[in-house]
Amino acid sequence: MFLKSKLFSSIPIRLATLYSLIFAFLFGSIFTVVYFWVENYIREIEDQWLVQEAKQILEGEPNFEELAQRMKDQANAYGNQQIFYCLRNQEGVSVVQSSSSTWQEIVQETSYFVRKEKNLAFEFVTVGSRTSPVRNLYYPLKSGMILQVSYSLQNSSQFLNRLLSLSYYVFPLTIIIFWCLGFFMLKGTLKPMQIMTQIAQQVSADNLKKRIPLSGSQNELDELAHTLNQMLDKISNLVSNIQEMCENLAHDVRTPITRIQGIAEVALLKERAPHEYPEVLQDCLTECERLLSLLNTILDISEVEARIIAIKKERISLSSFLEDIIEMFEDIAQHQGVQLTYTPLPQDCFISGDRRHLQRAIINLLDNAIKYTKKGEVVVKVEEQDSCVCISIKDTGIGIKEKDLPQIFRRFYRSDSSRSLPGAGLGLSLANAIISAHAGTISVQSQVGQGSLFQVQLKIS
C-alpha cells in the first residue's frame, strides 16, 4: 500500500499519466474524425463513379439488346462479383440485367425499394451470404424505368477495416511511447528539484553553508534555486546574529548579576552596622535597574521590529519636536565641553509618527554624538529633500572604522573604540528599528578621528 501511494505521488509519473490520457483522448478524437471523413470521402467518390457508370451504360439511348450487351461487357470488365446492372420496369420487375448468379439475393432485396423510389437514390444493402455491403444506385429514366447499378464495397471496406485494425496496434503503442518519453523528460526536468531536496535535507543549525548549485540556464528552476539560496543566506545571517546576541546578552547580563552576587557575599562575610545595609541594598538596586533597563531595551527592539507595539501616529511639528530634545541635551553638552548647534528649517514642517518612539530614536543618536565627542562640536541640522525631511546629526568625535560601519546597527555590537565607555550596544539598533517602523531610513558616514554623520530621513505628512 505504501509503495503504491509513493509510486503515484511521484510528480513525473502523475504528469506523464495525465498527459498520456490527454494525448489518448486527442489522438482518439482526431482518428475518429479522420476515419469518418475518409469513409465519407470514399463513399462520395464511389457514388459519383456509379452515376457516371449509369450514364455511360445509357449513353445513346440503346435498345434492350444493346443495353444487355453493354451490361455484360461492363460486368466482365470489372468482374461479375464486383458490379451488377439491372433495368427494371415501374413494378420493379427486371427487364434486362447482367449475370445474376451471385446477385440474386440483391435482386430480391431491392425490388420493393425500386417500386417505391422514383427519383435518383442510393442505398446500402447488406445480405447475409455476402461478406461486404453493397452500394445500390437507382437511376430513373424518362420512360419511367429505373436502372439499378449495384457495386460491392469489398475493396473500400477492407481498406477501412485495415485502417481500423492498424489503430488497435498503433494507438496503445503510441500511448506507451508517449508516456515513457514524457516520464523521462519530466524526470530530467525535475532533477534539479531532487538536488534541492537533498541539499535542503543536509541543511541544519550546524551546517548552514550548503547552497543549491545553479545550472546557468536562467529558467524557473534556476530562479527558484536562487531564491532558496537567498533564503538560506538570510537564515544563516539570522542564526549567526541570534548566536552572537545570545553570547553578548549572556555577557552583559552576567556582569550585573556577578556584581550583585559579589556585593551580597561581601555584606555577608561579617556582621555590619544597621546603617551600612541600606548602602549595600542601594548598590544591588542600581545593578538590578541596569539589568532591567537592558532587558527592557531588548524587548522594545524586538517588539518594534515585529510590529507588536502599535505605532500611535500623530501630526508632529518638527521644529518644536527637535527643540525639546536639544534643550534636554544643552546642559549635558556644556558639561562635557561640547558645542551643540541646531539649524532648523526656515519654515516649519510636519511629520506623522509616534512622538515618544521617535523622540527615543533621536535621543539615542544625539546622546552617542555627545558621548563620543570630547571638547568638540555636535551639529543638528534639518533639510527638506523632495517629499522627505532629513535630520542630520554631525559630530567631531572619535569616528567609526570603515569595517565597523555595516555592523553598528546590530544588537550588542560595539566597536573597539567604544568599549571603554558605558553602554550595551543597543541604542543604534533601537533607533534603526523605530525609524524603519516609521517607513524611514538611517544612514551613516564616518572617518576615524574626524567624526561621524548620521542622517535620518522621514516622510513629510
Chain center to CA of 290: 50
Class of domain 314-459: alpha beta
Gap between the Cα atoms of 88 and 55, Å rounded: 16
DSSP state at residue 421: S
Task: Please tell me whether residue 125 adopts helix, strand or coil conformation.
Answer: strand
Q: Minimal CA–CA distance to 57: which of 79, 81, 84, 80?
A: 84
Q: In this structure, how many other beta carbons lie within 10 angstroms of the beta carbon of residue 239?
A: 13
Placement of cell 518612539 in the chain: 357
Q: pTM for the complete prediction?
A: 0.48
Gap between the Cα atoms of 151 and 81, Å rounded: 9
Q: In this structure, how many other beta carbons lie within 10 angstroms of the beta carbon of residue 381?
A: 16
Q: Minimal CA–CA distance to 451: which of 393, 391, 398?
A: 398
Q: Which pLDDT score, from 0 to 100, does residue 3 have?
A: 44
Identical fold between 2-159 and 220-305: no
Q: Which pLDDT score, from 0 to 100, does residue 247 have?
A: 63
State the DSSP string of 429-460: HHHHHHHHHTT-EEEEEEETTTEEEEEEEEEB
Q: Which pLDDT score, from 0 to 100, does residue 170 have?
A: 87
Q: Are 119 and 96 in contact (CB under 8 A)?
A: no
Task: Please tell me whether residue 208 adopts helix, strand or coil conformation.
Answer: coil
Gap between the Cα atoms of 266 and 277, Å rounded: 11
Element (H, E) at 129: none
Q: Is the dihedral of CA 418, 419, 424, 425 positive or negative?
A: positive
Q: What backbone phi and psi angles, to 5 degrees, belong to 176? A: -65, -45
Average pLDDT of each block of 10 consecutive residues along the chain (461 residues)? 55 85 90 91 90 88 86 86 84 79 69 60 75 84 85 87 88 89 83 78 74 75 82 78 66 71 75 73 76 67 59 84 87 86 86 86 86 86 87 88 78 57 67 84 86 89 79
Domain layout of the chain by residue ranges: 2-159, 220-305, 314-459
**What is the dotted CATH code of the domain comprising 220-305?**
1.10.287.130
Characterize the bridge pairing of strands 451-459 and 388-395. antiparallel
Does the structural domain 2-159 have CATH classification 3.40.1840.10? Answer: yes
Task: Please tell me whether residue 291 adopts helix, strand or coil conformation.
Answer: helix
Task: Please tell me whether residue 232 adopts helix, strand or coil conformation.
Answer: helix
